[in-house]
Structure 1
């Protein structure tokens, strides 16, 4: 972990295309999540283009609202090698506002059914005013490791 991002890597017993398909399906994100905060996909369509927004319901006991919704904007989509998004919130007027942190998965095929998966949580673009009330990272690196284990398990299912 450096000062502004956490990166973990795992070798999964699954092809990169299968892992990518799981990541590109918002309905799997609650099962992948290593924190337990992601609840259910609101937008269920597969992720197919940069700029696409997908919303997920969240729950965190320390969040002011407890239950809340995150609007994620796809920033990277390079099947089957990389996928990433910028979490934010949708305001009452429909405007999306982003905090500056990102999630990114990079996939490198090692063999036909073996892929190195790297997950990066990066908060280097978070403005100071947000850092004053949110501690980064808001979880330990073990949560990213848990996410990769969950992803590998989902991708290895028939």
Structure 2
């Protein structure tokens, strides 16, 4: 059984510029391919593992509007940023978003986006949500939108 999916894209921008955008939750709605992210709540730049940022979201899988807390689980400037998402005020139930950046020269970067739900073990949650909730096509749209946002 598959428990993660990864998509990659070369973006015509330095890793520093892409990381700057990824570490700014206020801009996350610009490159969300799922269509669920609406806006950051009290946006503050991500600066370390352990940071938490809250997002306003909307989707039929949650009955409309909701909020998610994102717990930063990986942070290496210009190389890696990751977070585990959870309904606001709760602990993460086991899925993680991971962006890896590999500079390919002075002006291009290979960006890989991984959606990993391998740590989801809550049987009730697994009855409610069929993983992956986000398709590879939506993830590819996220990277296309990220490229547009960083070059816009």
TM-score, structure 2 as length reference: 0.95
The structure in which a higher percent of residues are helix is 2
- Per the alignment, residue 148 of structure 2 pairs with 153
- C-alpha separation between the residues in 2 aligned to 1:119 and 1:90? 23
- Per the alignment, residue 86 of structure 1 pairs with 84
Q: CA deviation at 1:62?
A: 2.8
The answer to whether the aligner puts 1:126 opposite 2:120 as a matched pair is: yes
User: Segments of 4+ in structure 1 off by > 6 A?
Assistant: none
- C-alpha separation between the residues in 2 aligned to 1:97 and 1:20? 26
- C-alpha separation between the residues in 1 aligned to 2:45 and 2:92? 21
Which residue of 132, 138, 151 maps to 2:133?
138
- Per the alignment, residue 20 of structure 1 pairs with 19
Note if contact 1:26-1:43 (Cα within 8 Å) is conserved in structure 2: no
**Structure 1 residues 42-77: Cα deviation after superposition (integer angstroms, max 9, x where no partner):** 03111001100000000002313x100000000001
- C-alpha separation between the residues in 2 aligned to 1:109 and 1:72? 26
- C-alpha separation between the residues in 2 aligned to 1:139 and 1:40? 18
In structure 2, the gaps of 5 or more residues are none
- Per the alignment, residue 51 of structure 1 pairs with 50
- Per the alignment, residue 34 of structure 1 pairs with 33
Which residue of 68, 71, 78 maps to 2:69?
71
Aligned residues: 151
Note if contact 2:14-2:109 (Cα within 8 Å) is conserved in structure 1: yes
